[in-house]
Amino acid sequence: MLLYAGIDEAGYGPMLGPLCIGCSIFSLDEHDATNGAPDLWKRLDHAICRGRRDRGRRIAIDDSKKLKGSRQGGPHPLHHLERGVLAFLATTVNGPDWLDGLTDERALSELGVTVPVHPWYEGTTELPLGEDPALLRITTSRLERALAESGVTCRSLSCELIDADEFNEKVVRTGNKASLNFEAILRIINRLRKAYPTDEVHVVVDRQGGRTRYRSDLQQAWPDHAIQVLDEGPALCRYRLAPVHGPTWSVSFTQAGEHRHLPIALASMTAKFCRELLMIRMNRWFIEAQPGLQPTAGYVQDARRYLDDIAPVIESRSIERSKLVRNC
């Protein structure tokens, strides 16, 4: 059996809202490693697809940036993100019935998200936002059948959240936010290793900025492992990690990972969906405090407008800017 895990982030650049790092883990009953990484889009093509348009109403699994819609008519902007994340998440919990009476609080809890204790993240949101619950249950049942027939299991979806105050503290400590993001990835990989100590694990991660070498960082993280370089190039870096005891495992950092590996694409969607749920809470809280306020996605230019607009709320409620706003 092969464990095939993907990691990706959402919210690296904004001034407002959390940085989210998602992880999806699949197991495959059969896979010949000499043929490279498995193509889960192909294995599950009767239930999933790439892109937002599909006549068969299959589940779209792709780069989260491609799947988030606009607010100009049509379905809810988060329709495809939540449809994919909730359907796969339901297969790891109790199946379609888990979707009954669902709220963002329950979904975030199942994803392992610890919501920051700030007033602007209070409240709950009913889910799904952009899909009929009955249709989502049907979609989930279809996905469960496809997974079973293909010998594939979605073991888990999870997300680690780093909010503005923690983000600011860690950037001061590490010197840059790239190091902060990479540290989070190493933490997640280490949790995978501890959770599946007897399994062969193949972890795929989207390439980290301009980095083209990762061996020394991996060796520092796991000094008792022998680390073999399998490939180091501008598009792909692959490493085999062999502990003193237990099976070897591999880590790959790949360019355009969301297009090459379904676990990375689903991790990207999970991270983006979690971030969007937190931004819904933030916008709702500040709009209640200041009616007429236009919501924000948290990215730099619009975040500055938003911060100017909510300046009276920040002052009247004595909000520490370092808990709300990222320094870089």
Number of alpha carbons in the 13 Å side-chain half-sphere of residue 171: 16
| Residues whose CB is less than 8 angstroms from the CB of residue 24 and which lie 6 or more positions away in sequence, other chains included | 5, 6, 88, 154, 156, 157, 263, 264, 266, 267, 270
Q: Is residue 319 part of a domain?
A: no
Q: pLDDT of 186-212, one tens digit each?
A: 999 999 988 998 888 899 999 887 778
Counting residues of the chain whose pLDDT is more than 90, the rounded percentage is 77
Two structure tokens written together for 83: 């449809």
Q: Is residue 36 part of a domain?
A: yes
Mean pLDDT, rounded, for 106-122: 97
Number of C-beta neighbours around residue 240 at 10 A: 14
H or E stretch at 27: strand 19-28
How far is the C-alpha of 208 from the C-alpha of 181, rounded, in Å? 9
Counting residues of the chain whose pLDDT is more than 70, the rounded percentage is 98
Q: Is residue 275 part of a domain?
A: yes
Residue 284: pLDDT band (50, 70, 90) is very high
Number of domains in the chain: 1
Number of C-beta neighbours around residue 260 at 10 A: 19
CA nearest neighbour of 82 among 259, 280, 256: 280
Q: CATH code at 62?
A: 3.30.420.10
Q: Return the DSSP state at 36.
A: -
Q: Is residue 139 part of a domain?
A: yes
Residue 94 is predicted with a pLDDT of 78
Say if residue 149's pLDDT is above 90.
Answer: yes
How far is the C-alpha of 73 from the C-alpha of 75, rounded, in Å? 7
Q: Is residue 51 part of a domain?
A: yes
pTM of the predicted protein model: 0.95
- Strands of 63-217, DSSP E: 152-162, 200-206
Q: Based on the number of CB atoms within 10 Å of its own CB, is 310 exposed (0-12), middle (13-18) or buried (19 or more)?
A: buried
If phi > 0 it is left, if psi is from -120 to 50 it is alpha, else beta; for residue 4 that is beta
Q: pLDDT of 1-46, one tens digit each?
A: 889 999 999 999 999 999 999 999 999 988 766 667 899 999 999 9
Q: Is residue 211 part of a domain?
A: yes
| Residues whose CB is less than 8 angstroms from the CB of residue 73 and which lie 6 or more positions away in sequence, other chains included | none
Phi, psi of 5, deg, nearest 5: -120, 145
How far is the C-alpha of 199 from the C-alpha of 215, rounded, in Å? 22
CA nearest neighbour of 152 among 249, 30, 49: 30
Number of C-beta neighbours around residue 159 at 10 A: 26
Q: Is residue 276 part of a domain?
A: yes
Residue 288 is predicted with a pLDDT of 97
Mean pLDDT, rounded, for 250-258: 93
Q: Is residue 240 part of a domain?
A: yes
The b/e string for 109-135 (b: 16+ C-beta within 10 A; e otherwise) is: ebbebebbebebbeeeeebbbbbebee
247: preceding bond cis by omega (within 30 degrees): no
Residue 291: pLDDT band (50, 70, 90) is very high
Please report the sign of the dihedral spanned by the C-alpha atoms of residue 218, residue 223, residue 229, residue 230: negative
Residues in the chain: 328
Range of the domain at 105: 2-280
